[in-house]
Structure 1
Amino acid sequence: MDSSPLPPQIAINGVEFNVTPGQRPLRVDGCITICELFQSRCAELGARTAHREKDLGIWKSYSWADYWQHAKWIGLALRKLGLQRGDVVSILSEDRKEWAWFDMGIQGVGGIASGVYTTDSASQLKYLINDSGSRFLIVEDEEHLDKFLEIEDEVPDLLKIIILENEGLHDLNHPRCMVIEDLYALGKQAEAEEPGGFEAELALARPQDTALLVYTSGTTGQPKGAMLSHENILAAIEAGARSLPTFASDEQLCFLPLCHILERDVSIYFPLAARCTVNFAESPETVFANLQEVSPTTFTAVPRVWEKLYAYVQILIQDATPVGRMAFGLALKAGAARAKFTSAGKPVPFGVAVWFWVWDRLVLRNLRRMLGLDKLRRGGTGAAPISTDLLKWYWAIGVPLVEGFGMTETSGLASLNTIEDNRIGTIGRAVDGNDIRISDDGEIQLKGLNVFQGYWRSNAKTAETFTSDGWLRTGDMGHIDDDDFIIITGRLKDIIITAGGKNITPAEIESRLKFSHFISDAVIIGDRRKFLTALVMIDQENVEKFAQDRKIPFSDFASLCAAPDIKELIGSEVTAVNADFARVEQIKDFRLIDVLLTAEDDELTATMKLKRGLVEKKHGHLIEDMYN
């Protein structure tokens, strides 16, 4: 595939990488493309388990040989149906083994895989299909097929729609639709007609070829398609292997949307290097039950998931007996004393270690087992800011949780804390092969082989994203401390300049509010205003329990938010947060968003981040009420 001489290699956990990170040609176990690495792993591992998935309540295993065979059939069938090298295929499905099979099959014949969030509306699907010029659409079931049928006349470039589950669709007779079994049959036919055809296509891939198109969920404007090459993803694989070691014996749980680059890395690309096993959650709603069943050795999630687990524990504590609450308090105190050392990579004093050992066996070990975190070697968080108090709490219960930073435009990875080299309150140091600098106006900018090729069909937006000397603009403000740890202070576009001229970055205040198990999210308001206010989303489960325990009447979510006792509860949480900030940074008033938001709502991104601009616009009447 590549005639250039092999650069010097170094082995990490049985995987060989270039000695110098960022060195070209970038090689992982001698492979220079994702396709080549996929082929190598499947040939090496064969009958070993690659994936597990539940079928009728039973976990079933699927081997690397299954992975290879199905990807081959998919790739050959799509090519036979008209897929050309460089064409885009959109995948609209929840996480499942077929997502990975299609990803590898599409890339194997030179196509570009593009994920679509299952929460997207039919109109959003139309935009993504037409913007990407997709030639094929993969849909999971009848529900997602309905979105296509609603817009079918407005997406004329689609050649075929492939359906993964045909329950309720046995009578479907549509010229552009086919079921997955028929696609496999077509692939088998193509393989028989042209033995070695898939392998020949794999060999045509080059490091600079666009491998996938990832649309940014974005908090403003229409999504932009970020083009990521084979080299970009291999650079992320290399950086991840060096900083976040994963072993062949590791078990992982895949549950975040695979169209998001973080989960795509963790559950499809990184396992290619690590040879580990990926378990697919049944659905986003069952993730905590599946977490208990799988007990993964590594687990990466967005902050909202870690916040929900914390909130769940708070409910358990409230329901515990006085003795149970006292025991947990003492155990947490022992864990916090130990965490001061472990979270900073320092040796634990003997007395502190013994104290923790006792309470770990009495309380904390059982708690981790109940949460499904008992085998966890490392937890990861990213994609949004997380409260430092929350990080400290997890370390205190014996769950080493480290924060990292990445963007779609950096192939999901730019900086990381590690278990051994961790500083809470930072996003870690730049990963190997990545350079990070702070611009004159305080923006974090970076450069490396993991930085994307640009935005699909948008040279103007691509140019805006890079500086004149080729550094990627992240849009995040921050600084680098004396030990090269990076601290994010906020988003450039989110800076609040009060009427008094004071510059305030709201991210830290919002993170502190979200540490309350009664608050799901918050948006700080105050630009060109005399003081700060906040729009608050309550945590439905915890606040409902609070109301039920105190016999506070409510009939629905809106009436819950309107209850005076609930407003008083949130007011006390706001007051507690205010105590840690300067007067000019304190929240003088707040309002509760009385609509229960989900990922289907425009105000939330697929990773459950509030879209500040839309929230301010849709709830402008609440804002004006606070200032009038």
Structure 2
Amino acid sequence: MTPVSSDMLALQRLYHWEKTAPDRVVLTQPMGQGMTRDYTWQQLAEQARRMAGYLKSRGWEPGSRIAILSKNCAWWLMSDLAIWMAGHVSVPLYPTLAADTIHHILTHSEAKACFIGKLDGWDAMKPGVPAGLPCISYPLSPPESRSSCEDWDAICQRHEPLQGQVIRDAQELATLIYTSGTTGQPKGVMQSFGSFAWALNAGIQRLTMSADDRMLSYLPLAHVVERVLVEHGWLRTGMHVYFAESLETFTADLQRARPTIFFSVPRLWVKFQQGVHHKMPPAKLQRLLSIPILGGIVRRKVLKAMGLDQCRIAAGGAAPMPLALLEWYAKLGLPINEGYGLTENLAVSHLTIPGINQRGTVGPPYQGVEARIAPETGEIQMHSAALMMGYYKDPAQSSAAFTEDGWLRTGDKGHIDAQGNLHITGRVKDLFKTSKGKYVAPAPIEDKLVMHEAIEACVVTGANMGQPLGIVMLNADAVKRSQETASRQALQESLARHLQRINATLDPHEQLKCLVIVTAAWTVDNDIITPTFKVKRNRIEDIYSAYYERWEDSGEQVIWHAD
């Protein structure tokens, strides 16, 4: 693997911008009530240096772990830089975690301190913070958290900036990224400064980024994609990063940022599409788009309303993107590049090439990435310089994650076509066998199922049953409509037709026996989805498996489940 130049490491990039572009505004932070605060490289570097001086003064041994529990904000990035400058290791936590998970991560990582930032529901999270753990509050942290925390601004006022250029070696541990965990307890993925730098080198050869770009940071910075693309992409290129304020202001946040690069997960791309269809019926939109000249005007208006009219690179990942969804956005004039990767390889494995129609695949590997398919299991295995150092304090799991010759076991199934593009067909462990002895891969069926305008999320299940079945969660608009008898009946009939269309495309052993409709939302709070909107299949089994036999025997095509 090509060695990484030391001037490409994260802290060295900060020093570069601090020296060459001190007055450039590169962070825009919403402060509430429509107000924003801008930060230049010089301003944010000074705050990071002052906080680093404080962390250094605590006398913790080099390489101590320091946690960040916050929604995305300017102080999140400054905290990470301060932790690194002080010689320590950052441990980001998702801002939606339950108290038990927070406690597990803080104790497992042996965190010396925790930054407490923008959060909803702090009262429920607070019991997860070990008693006596030093905490530092951001200017936008919950008011009730400040009595037990030291204040960011007060610390910065009383500590002088750390001087000089602290250099962290490429081989040094930079962070522990705890996986969101679709099964079991999250594991701490160890990644080095060199891994991040290499990942950026590979990434910008496929997706060009520069100081002229703008991004909106809204997916959790604790997630590997946001960490690499936003934080390290920002440090590498000097681009302007805007932060989202809240779910309620998301449209306005997008309009303010007008991002030129935009990444989202499939569930949110679906919600954006449903929002467009709510304002303009699909048939009418498709008819207008097919008309010369007028179609171009409609495309521009729709994209402008979404805040994506200046987006030159759109990307999706974290879960498979339904082909029909990719085709819909392409017709809208916003082709989405689909990427593939894991926390264990800094999400830099595969990505479709901009300008080339590779829909239905995740494209070829990035330069410097090798991929292969295990002949016995069909598992995708890969190798690169962005591979993790291992799982923190878990040598057995670390060893199991790699083959004997050092390739990462992804746990995903797939195949590589003649053009070198990778097709992902599901998870190795998600395959289930029906009572007829036939194996079913749920992911491709779910890609078709979720394309109904009323469905927000779905799961195909049915191990040891005669036929698989689909469980679908309605979106908020469909739930509201279902409360009126006539609308409920129309929705049921529409879903029945949707089921028939899907079954017509499937092999007999894959065809769904029925669709089960649930109206109670699957959320992070009730532990059914991860913070990146992946459904936890084990939780679905825990909650609904007792009903499977009854549903199968009902003879109904569409069943309403009383949540």
Per the TM superposition, whether the score is higher than 0.5 is yes
SS in 2 for 1:599: coil
Q: Quick check: 2:97–2:125 contact (8 Å CA) kept in 1?
A: no
1:18 counterpart residue number:
none
More deviation, 265-274/252-261: 265-274
Among candidates 128, 134, 140, match of residue 165 of structure 1: 140
- Kept in 2, the 8 Å contact 1:476–1:490? The answer is yes
Pairwise mapping of residues 282-321 of structure 1 onto structure 2 (< 5 A)? 282-318=245-281
Q: Please, which of 114, 117, 120 is the counterpart of residue 140 of structure 1? A: 117
CA deviation digits over 1:364-415, x for unaligned, max 9? 2111111111111110000011100000100101112110101110112211
Q: Could you tell me which residue of structure 2 aligns to residue 5 of structure 1?
A: none
Match of 1:488, SS state, is strand
Give the CA deviation at 1:526. 2.2
Q: Say whether residues 1:23 and 2:2 are aligned partners.
A: yes
In the TM superposition, residue 161 of structure 1 has moved relative to its aligned partner by 4.1
- Give the counterpart of 1:250 among 203, 213, 233: 213
For residue 254 of structure 1, what is the amino acid of its counterpart?
S
Aligned position for 1:445: 381
Q: Deviations over 1:33-81 (max 9, x none)?
A: 2211221122221111111122230333211111211111111111112
**Aligned with 2:513: secondary structure?**
strand
Cα 1:100–1:142 shift into 2, 3 Å: closer
Q: Are residue 239 (structure 1) and residue 202 (structure 2) matched? A: yes
Q: Which position in structure 2 is the counterpart of 1:207?
A: 170
Matched, 1:49 2:25: yes
Is the aligned partner of 1:364 residue 2:327?
Answer: no
**Aligned mates of 1:590, 1:132 — CA distance in 2:** 43
2:71 and 2:119 in contact (8 A); partners too: no
| Distance of aligned partners of 1:83 and 1:331 in 2 relative to their CA distance in 1, 3 Å threshold | farther
Q: Which amino acid aligns with 2:546?
A: H
- Which residues of 2 match residues 407-426 of structure 1 at below 5 A? 407-426=342-361
Give the C-alpha shift of residue 83 in structure 1.
3.5
**Residues 444-474 of structure 1: CA deviation (Å, up to 9, x unaligned):** 0011111111101100110110001100000
> What is the rounded CA distance, in whole Å, between the counterparts of 1:82 and 1:572 in structure 2?
66
In the other structure, the counterpart of 2:439 is 503
Change (3 A) 1:45 1:584: same
Q: Secondary structure at the match of 2:96?
A: coil
Give, in whole Å, the separation in 2 of the partners of 1:363 and 1:35. Answer: 44
User: TM-score under structure 2 normalisation?
Assistant: 0.93
Cα separation, partners in 2 of 1:463 and 1:330, compared to 1, 3 Å: same
Question: Is 1:330 matched up with 2:293?
Answer: no
Q: 1:182 aligns with which of 149, 154, 163?
A: 154
Partner of 1:479: 415
Deviations 1:327-381 (A, max 9, x none): x3323346xxxxxxxxxxxxxxxxxxxx3xx133332211111111111111000
CA RMSD of aligned residues (A): 2.1
Whole-angstrom CA distance in 1 between matches of 2:58 and 2:121? 22
Q: Which moved further from structure 2: 105-114 or 479-488?
A: 105-114
- Cα gap change, 1:145/1:163 in structure 2, threshold over 3 Å: closer, same or farther? farther
Give 3-state SS (helix, strand or coil) of 1:246's partner. Answer: coil
Q: Distance in 2 between matches of 1:608 and 1:230?
A: 28
In structure 1, the residue corresponding to 2:114 is in which secondary structure?
strand
Alpha-carbon deviations, 1:234-284, whole Å to 9, x = none?
111111110010121111111001100111112110121222100001123
Moved more, 137-146 or 492-501: 137-146
What's the offset of the Cα at 1:627?
3.0
Deviations 1:163-189 (A, max 9, x none): 54366459x654xx211122212432x
Equivalent residue number for residue 13 of structure 2: 37
Secondary structure of 1:31's aligned partner: helix
Is 2:27–2:240's contact at 8 Å kept on the other side of the alignment?
A: yes
The SS at the match of 2:7 is coil
Bigger CA drift: 449-458 or 538-547?
538-547
**Match for residue 550 of structure 2?**
625
Is 1:464 equivalent to 2:400 in the alignment?
yes
Distance 1:130 1:115 in 2: 13
Q: Which amino acid in structure 2 is aligned with residue 403 of structure 1?
A: E
Matched letter for residue 82 of structure 1: G
Unaligned runs of 5+ in 1: 1-21, 335-354, 553-562
Contact 2:214–2:261 under 8 Å retained in 1: yes
Q: 1:146 to 1:180 in 2, by over 3 A?
A: farther
Corresponding residue number in structure 2 for 1:385: 320
Task: Give the whole-Å Cα distance in 2 for the aligned partners of 1:179 and 1:224.
Answer: 30
Code of the residue aligned with 2:246 in structure 1: it is S
Alignment check: 8 A CA contact 2:317 2:340 kept: yes
